[in-house]
Amino acid sequence: MKTKNSDNYTKWQKSFERETKIDLNEASSETDEGIKIKPVYTKADIENLSFVDNDSLPGQLPYTRGPKASMYTNRPWTIRQYAGFSTAEESNDFYKKNLKSGQKGLSVAFDLPTHRGYDSDDDLVMGDVGKAGVAIDTVEDMKILFNDIPLDQMSVSMTMNGAVLPVLSSFIVAGEEQNVNKNLLSGTIQNDILKEFMVRNTYIYPPDPSMKIVADIIEFTSKEMPKFNSISISGYHMQEAGADNVLELAYTLADGMEYVRAALSKGLDIDDFAPRLSFFFAIGTDFFMEIAKLRAARTLWYKIMKDFGAKNEKSLILRTHCQTSGVSLTEKDPYNNIIRTSYEALSAILGGTQSLHTNSFDEAIALPTDESARIARNTQLILQNETGVTNTVDPLAGSYFIESLTDELSKKAWEVIEEIESLGGMTKAVKAGVPKLKIEESATKKQAKVDSGSRVVVGVNKFKNPKEPKVDVRVIDNNRVRDDQIKKINDVKASRDQKAVDESLAKLVTAAKEDSNLLARSIDAIKNRATVGEVSKALEQVYGRHFATSLSVSGVYGKHFEGDEDFMNVTKKVNIFEEENGRRPRVLVVKMGQDGHDRGAKIVATSFADMGFDVDMGPLFQSPKDVAKDAIENDVHAIGVSTLAAGHKTLVPELMKSLKEIDPKSKIIVFVGGVIPEQDYNFLYENNISAIFGPGSNIIESAEKVIDLISDKIHEHN
């Protein structure tokens, strides 16, 4: 038998090498994770696996094949689309329409002010109200959000981390006032603060008190809300920020371990809360890798929980939500995105996800329209109803390739988990900034691959559409939303019992100082009609607000382009510029408002520096006024505004105004990068913006354009 196999293999190898004219040893391709993918896999590849057990079945340990025995054959995955925009009224309308059209669960996207614990009337959030999610200021908004949606029947997922206390409290009180007791509420609160410090950037307090809040919520829900997932431990945002699958998998599970420890430190028994821990992963374009990742995640979590001493079977099983990758979707030739999303969705299903969000094709342009959201939802309805994928559990089990990949991914992730553990766990690692930097490094490498063309993105760096289609865009008038919200806040404030509010907020502060459970206290405050901002500010008095210090990668982008002609062309221009002007071109890259998307800004900054620019990096959450001061004091040639959360129409004109206020003769040119619908281009040009770099911009070309614009400006004045 053995000899026959090896004879066959030798024969195959000969044929392969004859067909390809490539030595088999050289024929592997390497993934972003550094995993070698061979042209063929055989039985030999699954003979000595470390983590995977070839004999196990679905619903059996180590749960590689799925958390349940029957999986989709019994009930398909939950179609759960993430959505929210503008006011609670409008989002409620949108939800109800979607539920009628076949969506099964709700998933609420809050706007950035809510995420960061500011009320809509706060000056700091002028450009952000209702723009990238729904604005919730008081429990009254929350009640409107679920108007005519019975909370004892609908499972609701809420992406909320920073302002988790007031928002979860509002949800609980909204339920109560619908006559639904909290023990009947089902759904999930994201409540995963560690990845906020790493990549998502909607933190409010420093890491230690933030971890306490997470633990308080796990404690409270494990006792009072048996049907509610206390946390959604999320790798999704890491991959979207640029992490490869090993990093995403390892950091997510390491986060999970840290939360388990935090909950244990409250004196809880592991089996009291572990069954309510849930997960969230991204599904990108690497089809088989993503399938392997979900299988590996379950396999590793089983091992981790076993080591923690969990006994209840439910504690050992990883259940997950998935979302297709937004960052894989392009602004250019956007209908291609429907196809990308379909493959990613299939990958998630073959990996055995419990629920799924599929992105809309206008992802890189703006929030979805009714139409694009319909197509995204139908992607899943078609999979469920037309393709037969629900008929067999874990259909790829036994595939030499999939099993071997699952095991290899597990091994690699395990090494990274051990590395984090040796640093003292994820909270410590996060404080040191290690994971964030690793993810940024990975993101920079990916960008270099696309910019150099070694990774093809159809419609972006190859096979471009000569006739770009025009697509409709959802437009949100944030000034109107803000006015509406302010009016509602004022109404609430006028009719509430102020003394009761003050007292309950004071009790919350005391609880924070005394280290007792904060969720119970914040429910009282919210019931008394304290606002989301007031609750957040009360805790800020005790904990302070966290400001991230950010490190930068250096040399990663440049290394990819050693000897590259276009790259050298820019560095040459920079050197000539320096000779002529006595200094290098100097660019300030900024993020304004509450927009926490920093992947693009960080990549552009490090790449420009690699090409020889001096790049000033502003912190997150700057106001236009701060940026103007910073730019003028450092006498930069240009400001590059990176804006993805749709605040540009408010914030960019403010910046132009502030620059002129400090220096009426300012010659600083301003350009804008990020997610800008084409419909807004003219508006920006009319505000004297020199250039716009949308999603998919090649950074080397952008750098060349920037240095040319700067030179032109200097010559224009000489």
Partner 1 sequence: MQLVEKIIKGERAAIAKAITLVESSRENDKNESRKLISELLNKPGKSIRVGFSGPPGVGKSTFIESFGRYLVEKNYKLGILAIDPSSQITGGSILGDKTRMIEISKNPNTFIRSTPSRGSLGGISVGTREASIILDAAGYDFIFIETVGVGQSETMATNLVDIFSLIVGPGSGDELQGIKKGITEYADIFIVNKNDGDLKSEASKTASDYKSAISYYKKSDDTADKEVLLVSAIEQTGMKKVIETIQNIVSQNKKNKNFDERRAKQFTYWIEEEVREIIQFNIQKKIRADGSISQLSQKVMDGKIQMFEAIEAITQNLQNK
From the list ligand B12, partner 1, none, partner contacted by residue 363 (C-beta under 5 to 8 A by kind): ligand B12
Sheet holding 320-324, edge to edge: 228-229, 187-189, 156-159, 105-109, 78-83, 355-357, 320-324, 277-283, 231-234
- Locate the DSSP E strands across 310-387: 320-324, 355-357
Of 126 and 274, nearer to ligand B12 (C-beta) is 126
Q: Which residues from 634-653 bind ligand B12, rule CB under 6 A?
A: 640, 642, 644-646
- Strand bridging mode 36-37 / 29-30: antiparallel
Under the criterion CB under 8 A, does residue 555 sit at the interface with partner 1?
Answer: yes
From the list ligand B12, partner 1, none, partner contacted by residue 486 (C-beta under 5 to 8 A by kind): none
Residue for token pair 């139908």: 378
Under the criterion CB under 6 A, does residue 113 sit at the interface with ligand B12?
Answer: no
- Nearest approach, Cβ of 114 to ligand B12 (angstroms)? 9
Q: Which residues pair with 157 in a beta bridge?
A: 107, 188
**Residue 591 is a catalytic residue:** yes
Q: Which residues from 435-474 bind partner 1, rule CB under 8 A?
A: none
12: which residues sit within 8 A by CB, 6+ positions away? 40
Q: By CB under 6 A, which span of 68-76, 237-245, 515-523, 560-568 interacts with ligand B12?
A: 237-245
Give the C-alpha separation, 640 to 1, whole Å.
66
Q: Which residues from 535-594 bind ligand B12, rule CB under 6 A?
A: 589
- Nearest approach, Cβ of 626 to partner 1 (angstroms)? 5
CA dihedral 562, 566, 567, 568 (to 10 degrees): 80
- Nearest approach, Cβ of 645 to ligand B12 (angstroms)? 5
Radius of gyration of the chain (CA): 26
Under the criterion CB under 6 A, does residue 160 sit at the interface with ligand B12?
Answer: no
Of 317 and 574, nearer to partner 1 (C-beta) is 574
Of 305 and 603, nearer to ligand B12 (C-beta) is 603
- Nearest approach, Cβ of 339 to ligand B12 (angstroms)? 15
Under the criterion CB under 8 A, does residue 608 sit at the interface with partner 1?
Answer: yes
Under the criterion CB under 6 A, does residue 162 sit at the interface with ligand B12?
Answer: no
Please measure the distance between the N-terminal and C-terminal CA atoms of the chain and give it in whole angstroms.
Answer: 83
**Residue 491 is a catalytic residue:** no
Q: Which residues pair with 323 in a beta bridge?
A: 282, 357
Give the C-alpha separation, 88 to 122, whole Å.
18
Of 389 and 458, nearer to ligand B12 (C-beta) is 458
Q: Which of 505, 673, 689, 710 binds ligand B12 (CB under 6 A)?
A: 673
Q: Which of 468, 634, 657, 688 binds partner 1 (CB under 8 A)?
A: 634
Q: Which residues pair with 30 in a beta bridge?
A: 36
What is the DSSP code (8-state) at residue 458? B
- Nearest approach, Cβ of 702 to ligand B12 (angstroms)? 4
Helix (H, G, I), strand (E, B) or coil at 330: coil
Of 276 and 474, nearer to ligand B12 (C-beta) is 474
What is the DSSP code (8-state) at residue 279? E
From the list ligand B12, partner 1, none, partner contacted by residue 611 (C-beta under 5 to 8 A by kind): partner 1
Under the criterion CB under 8 A, does residue 265 sit at the interface with partner 1?
Answer: no
| Phi–psi pair at 582, nearest 5 degrees | 80, 5
Q: Do 690 and 673 form a contact (C-beta atoms < 8 A)?
A: no
Under the criterion CB under 6 A, does residue 674 sit at the interface with ligand B12?
Answer: yes
Under the criterion CB under 8 A, does residue 490 sit at the interface with partner 1?
Answer: no
Residues belonging to the active site: 82, 236-237, 591, 595, 597
